[in-house]
Amino acid sequence: MSYLSILFIPVVLIFYYNTLVWLVESWMYNEYYSHGFLVPLISGYIIWNMRKELGSIDKKPSQFGLAIFALGIIIQGISVLWTIRFLSGISLLITLAGAIIYLYGWEFIKKIKFPFLFLVLMIPVPFIYLITSPAQMISVLATTNLANLIGIPAVRDGLIITIPAGAFEVGVECSGINSLISLFMIGIIFAYVLEGSNLMKATILISTIPLALAGNILRITSILVVAGKYGQEAAINYFHDFSSILLFSVALVGLFVVGRCFGRLRFKKIF
């Protein structure tokens, strides 16, 4: 069986070399997917910790795996022909799934379904930019209202918030999408390691969206507060980067609070 697995490696590299290069370049240069390097490492670590359990599984190779493998290659051909890189990334996972099923069987792939499906998070999705503008607008509107609520005179003009200390534009990098993607990934891991109902896990995942948005709104508001007290330069040059870490930590704590609402936190022994 090990010899067969070695035969699959050059086939995957030949058909998916450009896809792998695109993935690595996306992780390096796409600010929304800088977490991409962590995804295969986390998946690999979880599978490594399952090695004893996986070793005890009765391996029943399935010929159907070859059909899935071939389907993945066909989808890859379509994605290359039409230059659909996201589809190419999905096709890579389908091809790998086919190889695993052919070599080790259905029970094996079922056992590693979470770390395997987790790999989807390393593939840049084409519609991420479509939600950036709405996220920016939500952040601007909510921040303006919150600033006025706490006594900071704020006026909104498009994506620009003006206060007595100066004008602040909520750019793409301040939309909160980075925090949303990162928190969603953490939420998936958190939901997996927690023992509990599917309702609890679904609630944790859904809560990452309002928590990330709320954290971003508080971050922008805190920048306005610092600007009002110490000046615009201090807020932008010194507090801006620190505020991202601070408010993301607050959102992360909120995630644990959501999990705690369902009772005592109990974790699976996978680490």
**For the segment 207-263, what is each residue's pLDDT rounded down to a tens digit?**
999 999 999 999 999 999 999 888 888 888 777 777 778 788 888 888 888 888 876
- Model pLDDT for residues 117-161, shown as the tens digit of each residue: 999 999 998 877 788 888 899 999 999 999 999 999 999 998 999
Percent of the chain surpassing pLDDT 90: 49
- The residue ranges of every structural domain in the chain are 2-126, 129-260
Give mean pLDDT, residues 65-88. 93
Instruction: Report pLDDT for 13.
Output: 86
| Reported pTM | 0.86
> Is 183 in contact with 255 (CB distance < 8 Å)?
yes
Instruction: Report pLDDT for 143.
Output: 94
